Amino acid sequence: MSKLCLLLGDQLDLQLSSLRQLNKDSDWVVMMEVCSETNYVQHHSRKMLFLFSAMRHFHKTLLQKGYRSIYITLDAPDNQQNFQENLRIIINEKNINTLIVCEPGEWRLENEMYHWEEKLEIPVVITEDDRFLMSRQEFKNYAHGRKSLLMEDFYHMMRKRYSYLMENNKPTGGKWNYDKNNRSKYDYKTEIPKRLEFPPDSITLNIKELIEQWFPNRFGSMEKFTEACTREDALKCLKHFIETSLENYGKYQDAMLDDHHLLFHSRLSHLINSGLLNPKEVCEYALENFKVNNQEDLNSIEAFIRQIIGWREFIRGIYWLKMPDYLESNALDAHQSLPNFYWTGDCKMNCVSKVIKDTQKYAYSHHIQRLMITGNLALLMGIEPKEIHEWYLAVYDDAYEWVELPNTYGMGIYADGGILATKPYAASGNYINKMSNFCKNCQYKVSVKTGPDACPFNYLYWNFLYRNKNKLSKNHRLSMPYRNLERMDTTKLEQINKDSEDFIDSHCSRNLSEQ
Ligand code: FAD
Ligand code: DLZ
Ligand code: SF4
């Protein structure tokens, strides 16, 4: 009798808690490519290419390390295309007496697993995912009894707990957070480093063919795929980022460029989320290898550490604290359908079009592109939360629901009504123009507020505040824009509302009057 460990596509870590339970000589590991995972949203073809390649390479590593590992490819003749039925076959074939799985990153799958004991008639052990720096239970304990949950408080606690950037129990440099120093527009001089490229090997090329055959109509391109798909290459990416980009990471964190999608961002999230890199190791590698010579360096490393031990952990904690109700939230009663241009990039707004076309090309956007371009527009237009959530979950190669959903509902569109953010991240064209050079190449004019030439972000911003007055005007962080709205000339406001309704009507199949 043996144990069987099911290893999911985002659990590619030799130290994983479920693998630690196995006896290599007698137990089994199984990994599988299944349609139940490829089809629950319309994942970007490049996201699947990355993940399947990383999975197949990881299976090879498991074999080299002496594990008895089974791999079911998508086109294997006996593939039942879902976890449960494939497991049933292996359990019978290999005479398995216990199934082990590390807790998954999505509620829907964990919920399914709770039925496996009964359906597969075998004990199922779900082990804690200790790749995270705080367990789900610890976060629940932390949240218990707190009136509100603030990332900043959580982050201070995590800094102390891990002694990252701490001196004599005080934050290095005297301040916890240097975010205010991290809002510069790109200076158009600092060299943007080239990133490492890993030409696809035969494993990756075979998967590309498979995806072309099985999913010919998926969003996105698989051309010029040069992603790291092994731990070895992922470690090279980490080292390269620390050596070439981290020094400018903080300063230009919020900057965007028309012709460069990445700037100084790490591009590590898909590697961390899939398990090829461990978040703690990423932080510790950065802390050990990055020399802090001046205030800008400190701003950069503080920002980087904050994203990982602060935002990433906090987001995950909120997800498991609030699911499954969280998925149903719609605090702003938003019901517009997602405009088709989110799938094509064919849109006159240069910033939106570029971000979506880069998403098609790379399955990646950096945080401000997600938050202040595609997220901001969905917020201002009042897009139905589930529609924009499914878009984000599909199109990015780092997207799993535990991290995507709170970012979308909490930060992007304020669907959770303020659990994660203290105010909606709503902005007019002015912000985008301040942080990027998109507006120079746009058919709209950022300086024009209404009419056919006006930047749509300008009128949509005021229309959003006007439409949501009852829900938002009491938020003290919005008191200034609401004061300005109060003072606005009625004719101007009428024009703003008309332009907004026309814009929304022309892009959404459901319109404002139907709400
Ligand atoms: P960097 O800017 O280099 O940051 C370093 C690391 O910090 C990242 O690799 C990531 O691990 C972590 N990090 C930074 N910000 C966040 C954050 N807000 N939440 C969690 N981790 C963070 N991130 C995902 O990993 N998956 C998603 O599906 C996802 N969906 C998002 C949807 C929306 C609407 C928004 C606004 C943000 C989303 N994010 C998501 C967060 C963030 O945009 C990405 O983590 C980041 O862009 C990844 O790029 P990077 O590795 O270059 O990040
Ligand atoms: C995202 C994804 C895809 C597209 N396909 C698979 C798959 O075929 N097999 C697998 O084990 N995992 C896949 N994944 C990742 C899972 O969706 C992920 O493990 C769960 O959503 C839990 O986070
Ligand atoms: Fe975007 Fe408006 Fe600038 Fe055009 S003018 S790029 S729509 S912010």
Q: Evaluate: CB of 9 within 6 angstroms of ligand 2.
A: yes
Question: Relative to the CA of 350, which ligand 3 atom is closest?
Answer: 6
Tokens encoding 150: 């603030």
Whether residue 512 has pLDDT greater than 70: no
Q: What is the CA(57)–ligand 3 centre distance, in A?
A: 42
Query: Chain-centre distance of CA 276, in angstroms?
Result: 16
Q: What is the CA(121)–ligand 1 centre distance, in A?
A: 39
pLDDT tens, position by position, 28-46: 999 999 999 999 999 999 9
Q: What count of other Cβ atoms lies within 10 Å of the Cβ of residue 215? A: 18
pLDDT at position 163 is 97
- Evaluate whether the domain defined by 341-514 bears CATH number 2.60.40.1220: no
Whether residue 515 has pLDDT greater than 50: no
- Evaluate whether the domain defined by 136-193+245-322 bears CATH number 1.10.3720.10: no
Whether residue 47 has pLDDT greater than 70: yes
Average pLDDT over residues 367-381: 98
Whether residue 168 has pLDDT greater than 60: yes
Residues 202, 2: Cα–Cα separation, whole Å: 33
Q: Evaluate: CB of 230 within 6 angstroms of ligand 2.
A: no
| R_g of the chain, CA atoms, integer Å | 24
pLDDT at position 112 is 97
Whether residue 514 has pLDDT greater than 70: no
374 with 353: CB under 8 angstroms?
no
> Which ligand has its closest atom nearest to the C-alpha of 441?
3
Question: Relative to the CA of 441, which ligand 3 atom is closest?
Answer: 6
ipTM over 0.95: yes
Average pLDDT over residues 318-338: 98
Q: Which residues pair with 6 in a beta bridge?
A: 30, 101
Domain pair 2-127 / 341-514, same fold? no
Q: Evaluate: CB of 407 within 6 angstroms of ligand 1.
A: yes
Average model confidence (pLDDT) across the chain: 97
Whether residue 220 has pLDDT greater than 90: yes
Q: Residue 1 — very low, low, confident or very high, per pLDDT cuts 50/70/90?
A: confident
Within 135-279, strands assigned E span 166-167, 170-171
pLDDT at position 180 is 87
Best residue for ligand 1 mutational test, from 398, 400, 416 (most atoms within 8 Å of Cβ): 398
pLDDT tens, position by position, 455-485: 999 999 999 999 999 999 999 999 999 999 9
In one-letter notation, the amino acid at residue 121 is E
pLDDT at position 372 is 98
pLDDT at position 510 is 65
Q: What is the CA(435)–ligand 2 centre distance, in A?
A: 35
C-alpha angle with apex 191: 188 to 196, nearest 5 degrees? 135
Give me the helix-helix angle, 295-305 and 279-289, nearest 10°. 170
pLDDT tens, position by position, 93-119: 999 999 999 999 999 999 999 999 999
Whether residue 511 has pLDDT greater than 70: no
Whether residue 169 has pLDDT greater than 70: yes
Question: Which residue puts its alpha carbon closest to atom 3 of ligand 3?
Answer: 439
Alpha-carbon distances of 350 from 102, 292, 307, 441, 446, rounded to whole Å: 43, 37, 28, 7, 11
* The 3-state secondary structure of 3-16, one letter per residue: EEEECCCCCCCCCC
242 with 171: CB under 8 angstroms?
no
In this structure, the dihedral spanned by the alpha carbons of residues 210, 212, 214 and 218, taken in order and rounded to 10 degrees, is: 140
DSSP string, 476-509: GGGHHHHHHHHHS-HHHHHHHHHHHHHHHHHH-S
Q: Evaluate: CB of 104 within 6 angstroms of ligand 2.
A: yes
Question: Relative to the CA of 442, which ligand 3 atom is closest?
Answer: 4
Taking CB atoms and a 6 Å cutoff, what residues make up the pocket around ligand 3?
349-351, 429, 432-433, 438-439, 442, 444, 446, 455-457
Residues 60, 54: Cα–Cα separation, whole Å: 10
Question: Relative to the CA of 398, which ligand 1 atom is closest?
Answer: 26
> Which ligand has its closest atom nearest to the C-alpha of 86?
2
The domains of the chain are located at 2-127, 136-193+245-322, 341-514
pLDDT at position 63 is 98
pLDDT at position 179 is 87
What is the topology classification, in CATH, of domain 2-127? Rossmann fold (3.40.50)
Best residue for ligand 2 mutational test, from 5, 10, 30, 106 (most atoms within 8 Å of Cβ): 10
Question: Which residue puts its alpha carbon closest to atom 8 of ligand 3?
Answer: 429
